Amino acid sequence: MLAENIFLKIINRQLPAKIIYEDDLCLAFHDINPQAPVHVLIIPRKEIRTHSDITEEDKLLLGHLHLVAAKLARQLGIDNGYRIIINCKEGAGQTVPHLHFHLLGGRIMGWPPG
Ligand code: AMP
């Protein structure tokens, strides 16, 4: 079972977070347990539990999240090399049941990922 959706609490300002960007569709904030010098989470305001739950209706939203990720990567100075990760469901390491992009950079990334 995935845990409680704490990201909704961040969206609703019931839980503090280091928010670095927000608009009418999404927000971005620093991960509380960074796995790289830059580790930002980008989340839609819309409640989507997992990547597997996206629908045709979400096409524009998903494109928007990617544009925000690219913009933030430039602003954060990591656009010489960054990685975007979406963990989908427990088997891939998803712990928060709200779709999110991990934007990681500032160090050399290994491959294959763990
Ligand atoms: P995932 O394991 O892909 O679901 O990613 C969830 C991420 O959320 C992890 O990298 C956590 O460190 C991060 N996280 C959990 N709680 C918070 C929080 N309150 N503020 C910021 N990041 C969080």
Look up the CATH number of domain 6-105: 3.30.428.10
Tell me how far apart the alpha carbons of residues 90 and 13 are, in angstroms, rounded to a whole number.
26
Judged against a pLDDT cut of 90, whether residue 114 lies above it is answered with: no
pLDDT of residue 1: 56
The residues, any chain, with a CB within 8 Å of residue 16's CB and separated by 6 or more, are: 10
* Atom number of ligand 1 nearest to Cα 33: 12
pLDDT band of 2, cuts 50, 70, 90: low
Q: How far does residue 57's CA lie from ligand 1's centre (Å)?
A: 26
pLDDT of residue 4: 83
88 lines ligand 1 (CB under 6 A): no
17 lines ligand 1 (CB under 6 A): yes
Whole-model pTM above 0.85? Answer: yes
* Cα torsion 29, 56, 85, 95: sign: positive
pLDDT of residue 52: 98
- Select from 14, 67, 12 the least CA-distant residue to 42: 67
Q: Give residue-wise pLDDT tens across range 56-101.
A: 999 999 999 999 999 999 999 999 999 999 999 999 999 999 999 9
Q: Where do the domains of the chain lie?
A: 6-105
Which amino acids are annotated catalytic?
100
Q: Give residue-wise pLDDT tens across range 5-28.
A: 999 999 999 999 999 999 999 999
> Best substitution site from 18, 27, 33 to test ligand 1's pocket, by max atoms within 8 Å of Cβ?
33
